[in-house]
Amino acid sequence: MDQLKQFIEDPKFVKWVFNPNEELESHFSDFFTKHPEQKKKYLQIKKELRLLSITEKEISYSKGAEIFKSISDQINSSKINKKEIRNYRFLMRYAAIALVFFAIGSLFVYFSKGNKTNLQFAEEIFLKNAQTYPVIYFSDGSKKEIKSDKKYIDLSLTGKLVIGKDTISQKEISGNIQNSNVLVVPNGQRLHVCLKDKSTIWLNAGSRLIFPTEFNTDKREVYLVGEAFFDVVKNQKKPFFVNTSFLSVKVLGTKFNISTYPDDEEVVAVLEEGSIQIIDTQSAIPTVKAELKPNQLARLTKNDNHLEIIDTDYELHTLWKDGLLRFEQEPINQIINKIERYYNIEIILKDSQKGEEKVRGKLDLNASMPKVLEYITKITQTRIIEVNRNTYILE
């Protein structure tokens, strides 16, 4: 699984899908010689994703969903062993990420007329560590990095945008105001956003948010990959929807958190105040599966679409906005994943069984990274080895 994950996140895979050349074809020819059992599925997914990337026309969400379902059906109907099924489902999740950005419409655009492709745009959004700073991609193909200490974007002002410490005129962005823009927040970064309706969003590390410059007349809608806390301005005439690859959340005005990282096995929504509806988007007709009350959590397991509602303390899931982690009987592996995203590092725990152990406590991520890593060594009863500035081993 880890080898497959590294392979998919390799830029060679993305370039091979979107812009193959002789060198890449040779590379994957060698790979398929060594792993013939994987060749058919890789080629099929490449074919499906290429269909999405070569067209200049908008692809509707329904068409995108149809293509994704085709990939899903091919994978799930295959007569392969359990290990291969797990690997292909993992691959399918990454196919779904790429699909999302193509299928929303007006998202991946050509930077100029002619034969210039959207490869760079695709790679930057698809790959986990393609950016150092948060980036906003506008629907006209332009982009703006947020390098200042003030990680903030304000879209609520008339005729202008505030991006970090800079203010730019809306006229500088030539795309249609109803087209989709994309926010990409890399690991090691967080971003505070004020939307056109003055709803605010805190985006956690390793997240992407798709949103329009202005909402349409009957609803407000965004798409999330990663984790975000929403403080939505109440408007009964225009409900607010947060869409993910596995479910949607409908609100009128409330505060809640959603975690939907592609490499997590679950989608988790937690309500702080107000109410939200959990909508099942995997069925033929989207249906409301649950309505949460404050301090309730909805947990959707991705592999079987099972939804569970439990009582919780919302602070366990929202303190990350303040650089704090609080956990109650949480597996050490999950805590390590959060620390990795926060600092943009890799932590390798050699004893996998320790990762399954559950602990409780509170961790201040605003402290120095060495102090945080020291805390991890104490709860895992390990010593730390620094491989390089971004990689650490616990043994």
Structure tokens belonging to residue 107: 């998202």
Of residues 77 and 54, which shows the higher confidence score? 77
Q: What is d(CA 77, CA 89) in angstroms, rounded to the nearest whole number?
A: 12
What pLDDT is attached to residue 278? Answer: 94
What pLDDT is attached to residue 88? Answer: 46
Contact 127, 9 (CB under 8 A): yes
Per CATH, the architecture of 130-316 is what?
Answer: Sandwich (2.60)
User: Do the domains 323-394 and 130-316 match in fold?
Assistant: no
Of residues 64 and 389, which shows the higher confidence score? 389
What pLDDT is attached to residue 307? Answer: 92
Q: pLDDT band for position 157 (50/70/90)?
A: confident
What pLDDT is attached to residue 314? Answer: 93
Neighbours of 246 (CB within 10 A): 18
Of residues 173 and 255, which shows the higher confidence score? 255
User: For residue range 184-194, what is the model confidence (pLDDT) as tens digits?
Assistant: 888 889 999 99
Structure tokens belonging to residue 110: 């050509």
User: For residue range 247-305, what is the model confidence (pLDDT) as tens digits?
Assistant: 899 998 899 999 988 778 889 999 999 999 999 877 777 888 899 999 999 999 888 88
On whether the pTM is more than 0.85, the answer is no
* Region 320-342 average pLDDT: 89
At the top level of CATH, the class of 323-394 is: alpha beta
Q: pLDDT band for position 352 (50/70/90)?
A: confident
Of residues 257 and 51, which shows the higher confidence score? 257
Q: Which long-range contacts (CB under 8 A, 24 or more apart) does 4-9 make?
A: 4/87, 4/90, 4/91, 5/90, 5/263, 8/90, 8/91, 8/94, 9/127, 9/128
Q: What is d(CA 21, CA 290) in angstroms, rounded to the nearest whole number?
A: 49
Contact 133, 203 (CB under 8 A): no
* Region 31-60 average pLDDT: 64
Contact 383, 373 (CB under 8 A): no
Contact 312, 297 (CB under 8 A): yes
Q: What is d(CA 295, CA 362) in angstroms, rounded to the nearest whole number?
A: 19
Q: pLDDT band for position 172 (50/70/90)?
A: low
User: For residue range 8-42, what is the model confidence (pLDDT) as tens digits?
Assistant: 445 566 567 656 778 888 888 898 899 888 787 77
Residue 60 carries which DSSP code? -
Of 3-7, 148-152, 221-225, 383-387, least confident by mean pLDDT is 3-7
Task: Give the residue extent of every domain in the chain.
Answer: 2-103, 130-316, 323-394
| For residue 67, pLDDT beyond 50 | no
Q: Which of 82-91, 124-133, 141-150, 370-379 has the highest mean pLDDT?
A: 370-379
Q: What is d(CA 258, CA 207) in angstroms, rounded to the nearest whole number?
A: 11
* Region 70-96 average pLDDT: 46
* Average pLDDT value over all residues in the chain: 76
Sheet containing 346-349, strands listed edge to edge, beginning at the edge strand earlier in sequence: 346-349, 391-394, 384-388
